[in-house]
Amino acid sequence: MTASLTDATTATTEVARSTELYQRAEARTAHNYHPLPVVVEHAEGAWMTDVDGKRFLDLLSGYSALNFGHGHPGLLRAAHEQLDRLTLTSRAFVHDRFADFCAELGDLCGKELVLPMNTGAEAVETAIKVSRKWGYEVKGVTPGHAKIIVSSGNFHGRTTTIVSFSDDPDAHNGFGPFTPGFQMVPYGDLEAIEAAIDADTVAVLIEPIQGEGGVVLPPDGFLRGLREVCTRENVLMVADEIQAGLGRTGKTFACDHEGVVPDVYVLGKALGGGIVPVSAIAADRDVLGVLRPGQHGSTFGGNPLACAVGLEVVRMLATGEHQDRAAELGVVLRDRLEALVGHGVLRVRTRGLWAGIDIDPAVGTGREVCEALMARGVLAKDTHGSTIRLAPPLVITAEDLAWGLDQLAEVVRAADPA
Ligand SMILES: Cc1ncc(COP(=O)(O)O)c(C=O)c1O
């Protein structure tokens, strides 16, 4: 159902509740985020409703964690059934959902083994540890010398090791001392990667599409070339598909667009169905087999609730239905956004149902455009000042998507001085 514009501008007495809760939250929490002033109470599909009863079309999907929309019935069913039965064992014991989750996720990835964790950053940390250990035990790198190549503009999470190799000053500055062992090269520059590889290099850690960076795509052929280089040089290709993977781009993995299979998949966000944090890495036995008892773990990683929901996610993806839908609606998204270039929009980058839109500074900042969209009942998120990221739930209807894009067109066109 499509909200009318008046839904987003109801009586001021009701708005007070949103404002009050927003201000109370701001007063009692660290300001590590700058949220839009909306206070959500419930949600269904692509729509969220705030505490004042106003409805908003969600074009962010929790940064792709809600690929299947809010309250997906199959995912909720899996969660409810599991909640009533068993929620946590720790990995000290095995639970009855663990084998199916690992096997079916492994099959989806075409990999022999899976190691479940919780957040994306933990999965990235896991991939880093496994790559280093593989380097020492399998490749024969001198202990303590392992090097991992990363990209400029990367975003892999917020742990101290991960922010050590971030070139975003906000993410990096003030959090040293930093973890050594990473070398940065320009994103998408295959020659720079080849030049950086030496005898100590154990892995190239790459986002096949940079999400936080503003949906930045590497040059055509880059992933294929990287695969060849990694194979030739005996270096692991580690693909962080946390935001790009699991249907978002119109294929199961963003690497699929170039027919490339990395050595290690790093997954998160949508794997938890928007219900629980579930992340994982998937790799073959020659890589993940380097871990032995006591060397890595997490109390909650692979817990029964996470596995029940994650298994349902994997089964939904195994049908290909959501990937096809993202591809189909992605054409609409691309065509509609490209029509805005030159009309308040400088550039757009899309892949499947995912877009980075560079707003003409003459129109306003990304934040200002998101605020104007919010006033019209559409929620999106700015990144890096002047870029807006759109990641609608893959279950959005074509009508709702068209309506949301109408709002964006009206906002940027109304403010376009040209
Ligand atoms: C590509 C990528 N890797 C890792 C992360 C970190 O995930 P989490 O916030 O669950 O730790 C993110 C989060 O945005 C991401 O986009």
Ligand 1 pocket residue status of 207, Cβ below 6 Å: yes
Pairing of strands 47-50, 55-58: antiparallel
Tell me how far the alpha carbon of residue 244 lies from the centroid of ligand 1, in angstroms.
Answer: 10
Q: In sequence order, which ranges of 289-341 are alpha helices (DSSP H)?
A: 304-318, 321-338
Contacts of 187 (CB under 8 A, 6+ apart): 151, 152, 153, 154, 210, 213, 216, 218
Give phi and psi for 382, each to the nearest 5: -85, 160
Residue written as tokens 């002047």?
386
Ligand 1: which residue has its CA nearest to atom 16?
243
- Helix or strand holding residue 11 (H, E): none
Active-site position among 56, 101, 155, 222: 155
Contact predicate 405/333, CB 8 Å? yes
Tell me how far the alpha carbon of residue 139 lies from the centroid of ligand 1, in angstroms.
Answer: 28
Contacts of 363 (CB under 8 A, 6+ apart): 344, 369, 412, 415, 416, 417
Ligand 1 pocket residue status of 240, Cβ below 6 Å: yes
pLDDT, mean of residues 74-87: 98
What distance in Å separates the CA atoms of residue 187 and residue 371, rounded to the nearest whole number? Answer: 31
Catalytic annotation present for 269: yes
Residue pLDDT, tens place only, 196-214: 999 999 999 999 999 999 9
Catalytic annotation present for 284: no
Whether residue 48 has pLDDT greater than 80: yes
Whether residue 4 has pLDDT greater than 70: no
Residue of 170, 269, 276, 354 to mutate, ligand 1, most atoms within 8 A of C-beta: 269
Ligand 1 pocket residue status of 111, Cβ below 6 Å: no
Which tokens go with 250?
Answer: 């119109």
Q: In sequence order, which ranges of 96-221 are alpha helices (DSSP H)?
A: 98-109, 120-134, 160-164, 169-172, 190-196
What is the greatest pairwise CA distance in the chain? Answer: 68
Residue pLDDT, tens place only, 340-399: 999 999 999 999 999 999 999 999 999 999 999 999 999 999 988 899 999 999 999 999
pTM: 0.96
List the one residue out of 277, 155, 266 whose CA is nearest residue 211.
155
Ligand 1: which residue has its CA nearest to atom 7?
120
Whether residue 129 has pLDDT greater than 80: yes
Ligand 1: which residue has its CA nearest to atom 13?
157
What are the angstrom distances between the C-alpha of 141 and each of 4, 33, 129, 200? 61, 40, 14, 6
pLDDT, mean of residues 412-417: 81
Ligand 1 pocket residue status of 120, Cβ below 6 Å: yes
Of all atoms in ligand 1, which is nearest to the CA of residue 277? 10
Catalytic annotation present for 240: yes
Whether residue 401 has pLDDT greater than 80: yes
Query: What single string gives the DSSP state of each residue in 75-107?
Result: HHHHHHHHHTT-----TTS--TTHHHHHHHHHH
Active-site position among 269, 358, 382, 400: 269
